Structure formats: C-alpha cells, structure tokens
Structure 1
Amino acid sequence: MQQTPVTSAEDSVVNLLVTAGRLTRLAGVISGEDLPRAVMRALAVLDEHGAVRVSEFARIDRCSQPAATALIGRLVADGFATRGKDPQDSRAVVVELTPAGRDRLQRARRAFGAALATRLSEFDTDRLARMETDLTELLDALKKAAPRQITVGD
C-alpha cells in the first residue's frame, strides 16, 4: 500500500483517515469477530451518544431514516437496544443501548484489539500508548473546533 506524499496538513489528515479505515477493516478480517460492521458501528454510535432519536441516529450514521429504522430494528430484536417514546415529544422514537449491547460492543472491540496486538511485537507498549494519546488529542481538538456536534462510530 503506497502512502500519498504529505504536502499539507490536509494531506496528512487524509492519510490518517485512510489508514484508520484500513486498520479497522483489517482488525475485522483477522479477528474472527462475526459482528457485522453496520451493527458494530450502530452500537458504537449509541455507546458514544446515549439515547438518540432515530433521525439523529441516521444523521450520525450517515444513512437514510428507513435504513436506520431497519438497523435499529435488528439491534432491538437482538436485545442490544431498546426503543421508547421521546419524553420531550411523544411522536418521536428514542433508541438506547442496553447492557447486553454495550457488552457485545466491548467484546467485539476486545477481539479486534487482541487480533492486532498479537501482530505488533515490534511495537512496545509505550509507543502504542503515545499513538493512542495522539489520536485521542486529535479527536478532542476536532470536536472542539466543530461548528456542530461531531460524532464518531466504529
């Protein structure tokens, strides 16, 4: 895989995004984890944002409202989420992660981490911790600089 030469901050950010996507896909492939990406992404959105309306979930996940409704229906059927009335608007539906959903997300994340960690013998724990700190600081800076709520899912 050839890395695009860095000539600007924008190029660096593009390279980071491409690499992060590839890293996540690789983790899914080598981990043996069978949780579909769409389900894992949906669980991550609910984990990060708490109870959200279906329309807000669709905006965060960048999918249509019918697609969000179908995905949420699957989460509810699997016991990973609950649907309820929005206390501020009884016509709206709010979706929330269940303890089982949070546990399933955590297990999938652990499987991803274990699969990658076993292949990183040349990376010491301190180096990985620095990378984690740098990425966390980058995400925090982007969230602070955003004109509206920034959301991240797995």
Structure 2
Amino acid sequence: MASAEDSVVNLLVTAGRLTRLARVISSDDLPRAVMRALAVLEEHGAVRVSEFARIDRCSQPAATALIGRVVADGYASRRKDPEDSRAVVVELTPAGRDRLHRARRAFGTALATRLSKFDADRLARMETDLNELLDALKSTAPQHYPTSR
C-alpha cells in the first residue's frame, strides 16, 4: 500500500498531466504563464508584485514583466497599496476573470467530450474529494501560503 506522501505525489503528477493534456487538446490559446497569473490573482486577490512573485515562485523581474502583460491586456489593474503609498497592488479585472473562466471552460469541454463513457457521478465525487483535500491543506497554511521555500 502506498504511503500518504506517495499518494499525494501521485495526485500532483496526475493533476499536472491533466492540465497539460487539456492545454494540448483545447482550442484555447491563452498562454500558460498568463493563465497561471490570472489564476493566482483570482485565488489570492489583490497582491503586491513581490507577493505575486513569491506565490508563483518566479523572480521579481519575471513577475513584473508578466504582470505588465496582463495589465496591458486589461486582465488586471494596478492601484496604490492602501497600507503603503509607495507600493502598488495588482488585482484581477472583470475582463481577466472572464478570460480565465473561458480558458478553463475550454479545457473542461476538451476533456469532458472525451469522457462520454466515464460516470458523471464518479467525476462529481472526485471533484468533491479534491476540493476537500485542498480545503484541508489550505486550513493549515498561513494567508497566501507559507513563506518558506
């Protein structure tokens, strides 16, 4: 029997493979980095660029460039940080939320059309289980996840 750690590793590997497969077979052309940035902003809300870089595990210059791109595309906006007028925070715009939703929907459609013989109730149970797993993990992490690397 696999250990809990082995099972979690296998879940992570499988989730990554599902995402890559969806990307390959989906008709959506949103670049991976942009989709990842929009997903971070959706999940974490308004964040400073340095916090975005930490969450995304990229360099500050890479985060600045990526945020610049999503702001230029109208998917995010910058505003003064209410806690520090020298800093800015970045947040998702309604257009960014819509674009992320459309990309996710295209991924879901691409995968779902290939699962016609797969039990819908089983998929619903898997979704519930994964959400419960995520909630359990988030409940033990500080805001915006741990700061250690």
Fold match, TM over 0.5?
Answer: yes
Query: Of the two structures, which has the highest relative contact order with CA contacts closer than 8 Å and spacing of 6 or more?
Result: 1
C-alpha displacement of 1:148: 5.6
Q: Percent same amino acid among aligned pairs?
A: 85
Which residue in 2 is equivalent to 1:57? 52
Equivalent-residue separation in structure 2 for 1:44 and 1:146 (angstroms) = 18
Flag structure 2 segments of 5+ consecutive residues without an equivalent: none
Equivalent-residue separation in structure 1 for 2:60 and 2:38 (angstroms) = 17
Equivalent-residue separation in structure 2 for 1:53 and 1:147 (angstroms) = 17
Instruction: Kindly indicate whether the alpha-carbon contact (under 8 Å) linking 1:43 and 1:105 is maintained by their aligned counterparts in 2.
Output: yes
SS of aligned partner of 2:55: helix
Give the TM-score, by structure 1 length.
0.91
Quote the RMSD (CA, aligned, Å). Answer: 1.3
Which residue in 2 is equivalent to 1:3? none
C-alpha displacement of 1:144: 1.2
Aligned length: 146
Equivalent-residue separation in structure 2 for 1:69 and 1:63 (angstroms) = 10
Which residue in 2 is equivalent to 1:138? 133
C-alpha displacement of 1:53: 0.6
Equivalent-residue separation in structure 2 for 1:132 and 1:97 (angstroms) = 25
Equivalent-residue separation in structure 2 for 1:121 and 1:8 (angstroms) = 32
Give the TM-score, by structure 2 length.
0.94
SS of aligned partner of 2:114: coil
Which residue in 1 is equivalent to 2:66? 71
**Aligned AA (2:71):** V
Show structure 1 runs of 4+ deviating over 4 A: none
Report 1:85-100 matches (<5 A).
85-100=80-95
